[in-house]
Amino acid sequence: MFSTEIFGQRLRAVRKAHDEKQEDLGLLLGVGKSQVSELECGTASTTLEKLSFICEHYNISADYLLGLTDEPKPYKRKKPNKNLP
């Protein structure tokens, strides 16, 4: 089940691991430092579009941020099977 608290804790940890400030992430997302702080404190949530930006920027899976898995790295995509419709 989704928890804004887990999302916030993991977002903060990933941001700090990349040695970025809240302002840096805010610039990427087009929001202010206070909105990033609210995300990290678990008092606010974000849009799917911004979640996608976060995942791409930090190369982590949305499942990890959402607390659905403890594996931060995204799964490697398999090449599509040309025989399937």
pLDDT digits (tens, 9 = 90+) for 18-62: 999 999 999 999 999 999 999 999 999 999 999 999 999 999 999
Q: What per-residue confidence (pLDDT) applies to 73? A: 83
Q: Is the pLDDT of residue 81 over 80?
A: no
Q: What per-residue confidence (pLDDT) applies to 10? A: 96
Q: What per-residue confidence (pLDDT) applies to 83? A: 62
Q: Is the distance from CB of 25 to CB of 15 less than 8 angstroms?
A: yes
pTM of the model: 0.84
Give CA 18 to chain center in angstroms. 13
2: number of Cβ within 10 Å: 10
What average pLDDT score do residues 69-83 get? 71
